[in-house]
Amino acid sequence: MQISRISRDYVERFHSLDGNRQAMLDHRAKYGGARILAQLQSVEDITHRDYRRVCYEQPQISQRMALLNHQEEGGAWLSINFYRGREHGNFNQREIEFIESVAPLLIQVTRLHYRAFIEANQMPSLLRQRVELLFPELTRRDRELLRHLLSGLGAEDIAPLMGIQRSSAATYIKRLYRKVGVSGHRELLGLVVRSRWS
């Protein structure tokens, strides 16, 4: 598929040439990242021949409007990009003003989505670290098992990952629960939550 190929080329070859990167650096130096930046880039603005050809000319894009915002938490930049196909010409003033008028709402929704994504992907690791702090005596194998359990896996999924039989996985899970003083998965999660707020 052409879009996946363009995305791969962009990440591997052209990300450092993106006009948004310089705009972000300039914006952060000037404002500290607190504001939303609207950045317009036309195909004519791109001087690197291959970048222009692969990311704009081949997919027939005439212009991109990006909404950029620096996240104080973690230092990431959020970027929402709107692309105009060549057949529609460039964004007109009315369209630009409309996008700018809804930019705070779009950035807030994107910020919330990004935070939920980070939390969902980091939560098992954070929970595991919390249990490991409470029970430093856990073995390497216990910690591996804990990681799988806190990722939502059951004995049938854990067994092949750890190279053991399903019955052995179930036994190891019971032993781990005993070590941390709980009787099941729900209590394990309760232990982590209690330790967080106590």
* Full set of structural domains in the chain with CATH: 2-91 (no CATH), 119-197 (1.10.10.10)
Tell me what pLDDT residue 160 has.
Answer: 92
Give whole-number Cα distances, 98 to 67, 83, 87, in Å. Answer: 12, 15, 21
d(C-alpha 45, C-alpha 48), whole Å: 9
Tell me what pLDDT residue 36 has.
Answer: 87
Tokens 């620096």 sit at which residue? 70
Low-confidence ranges of the chain (pLDDT < 70): 1, 31-34, 72-75, 194-198
116-156 tens-digit pLDDT: 887 777 777 878 888 888 899 999 999 999 989 988 889 99
Tell me what pLDDT residue 25 has.
Answer: 79
Give whole-number Cα distances, 168 to 13, 91, 157, 185, in Å. Answer: 47, 62, 12, 17
Q: What are φ and ψ of residue 95, in 5° steps?
A: -65, -40
Burial letters 140-152, b for 16+ CB under 10 A, else e:
eebbbbbbbbbee
Tell me what pLDDT residue 71 has.
Answer: 74
* Nearest alpha-carbon partner for 141 in 176, 165, 110, 116: 176
